[in-house]
Amino acid sequence: MRPVPASAPSSPPRRRRPRGPGRPLATTKAEIEEVALGLFETRGFAATTVDDITTPLDIGRTTLFRYFPTKSAVIWHDYVERVDRLGALLQAVPPEADLLAGVVGAILASSDYTEADRALLRRRDALIADTPQLFSENAATIVRWAEAVAAHIRERAPRGPIADAVAYAYLGAAGGAVRLWADNAATRLDDVLPPSLDVVTHAMRHLLTDAAPPVQPCVP
C-alpha cells in the first residue's frame, strides 16, 4: 500500500488587528474634524472626498456617517450642538424668571468656548468665506439659532411679534463678541460677551412691554 503523503500544514487563519478600547464620541469627533479641516484647507472643500477623510484615520465611511450625516456636518457639528443646547436651556427657564435675563443666561451657558476652540473658529470662518456652499449652510444654521431665541420670546412676551427683532439683535451681539474673542488672543470671552448682550437687553427691554409706544418711521 502506497503511503498517503502528509498534507501541508494549513496556515493559521488571518486575524484582524485588534482595536483598542472604544474612545469617547467627543474624542473621535475631534480627530475626524482635525483631519477634515486640514484637507479642506489644502485641497478645498469640494475637492475633498469622504474617503480622503477616512483613509488617514483608518475608519470606514459608515463610522464617519455614524457621527456626521454629511461631509459638511464635520464643520457644523459643534455649532449645531450648541444651538440644540440653547433651545433646551431656554425651555428650562422657569416661567416666573425675567424673560431677557433667561435668554441671556441660556446664551452664555451655550457659548462656553474654550481656548482650544479659538483657532478652530478662525479656521472655520476662513473656510466659510471661501466656500459658497458652506456660506449658505452657515446662514441656515444662524437662522436656527435666532429662531430658538425668537420662539422662546414669542411664547412668553406680551408683544411677541417683535421677537424676531430681539432675537437677531442678540444674535448679532453674540456672534460679534465671539468673533472678536477668536481673533484676539489677549481677549477673554467673559470680558466681551456679557457686555455685548447687556447692550441688547437694555435697548430691547422696553419693546417687550405693553407700555412701549410704537416707533413711527421718519421719512425724509
Same-domain status, 203 and 94? yes
Domain match, 130 and 49 both = no
Domain that holds residue 104: 75-208
* 89 and 112 housed in the same domain: yes
pLDDT digits (tens, 9 = 90+) for 151-170: 999 998 876 678 999 999 99
CATH number, domain with residue 95: 1.10.357.10
pLDDT over 70, % of the chain: 81
Q: Is residue 44 domain-resident? A: yes
| Per-residue confidence (pLDDT) for residue 83, from 0 to 100 | 95
Q: N- to C-terminal Cα distance for the chain? A: 118
pLDDT band at 214 (very low <50, low <70, confident <90, very high): low
Q: What is the spatial distance between Cα 109 and Cα 88, in angstroms, rounded to a whole number?
A: 11
Query: Per-residue pLDDT averaged across 195-203, rounded?
Result: 95
Mean pLDDT of 96-117: 94
Residue 77 confidence (pLDDT): 83
Q: pTM (2 decimals)?
A: 0.79
Which tens digit of pLDDT belongs to each residue from 9-23? 443 443 333 444 444
